[in-house]
């Protein structure tokens, strides 16, 4: 298994994941690893709520926000995401959203 950048981080996550143990004979990780600051989202729900609000959604109900975002155009989502690109939020330029683990 081999990966570069985000792919390298994905390979690293596979190596750390107990259910993946024994599935791969060898791994090559280049320019990305699981501990990079861009591999984890600190507050995904709050960021999604802020994006929806930036785009004109007035609800904070998760189901309503989800429907709002699903019905939005890709252009509107990209424009809204660019409004969230503040210096304090940006770990890596242009990455407002990064992978997250959902716990329900």
Tell me the per-residue pLDDT of 38-70, one tens digit each, with 9 for 90 and over. 787 778 889 899 999 999 999 999 999 999 999
C-alpha dist (Å) from residue 56 to 33, 59, 85, 103: 36, 9, 17, 27
Range of the domain at 7: 2-39
In a domain, 25, yes or no: yes
In a domain, 94, yes or no: no
In a domain, 90, yes or no: no
Nearest residue to 55 (alpha-carbon basis) of 43, 45, 65: 65
Nearest residue to 5 (alpha-carbon basis) of 38, 51, 27, 50: 38
What distance in Å separates the CA atoms of residue 56 and residue 64, rounded to the nearest whole number? 12
The backbone torsions φ and ψ at residue 84, rounded to the nearest 5 degrees and listed phi first, read: -85, -5
CA 31 from centroid of its chain's CA atoms: 18
Q: Are residues 49 and 33 in the same domain?
A: no
Q: Are residues 31 and 53 in the same domain?
A: no
Please give the tally of structural domains in the chain: 2
Give the chain's mean pLDDT.
Answer: 88
Query: Would you say the pTM of this structure is higher than 0.85?
Result: no
In a domain, 88, yes or no: no
In a domain, 92, yes or no: no
């Amino acid at each position: 298994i081999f990966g570069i950048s985000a792919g390298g981080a994905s390979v690293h996550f596979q190596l750390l994941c107990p259910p993946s143990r024994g599935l791969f004979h060898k791994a090559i990780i280049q320019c990305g690893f699981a501990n990079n600051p861009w591999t984890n989202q600190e507050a995904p729900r709050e960021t999604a709520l802020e994006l929806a609000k930036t785009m004109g959604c007035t609800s904070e109900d998760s189901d309503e926000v989800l429907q709002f975002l699903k019905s939005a155009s890709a252009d509107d989502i990209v424009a809204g995401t660019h409004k969230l690109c503040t210096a304090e939020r940006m770990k890596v330029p242009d990455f407002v959203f990064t992978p997250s683990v959902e716990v329900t």
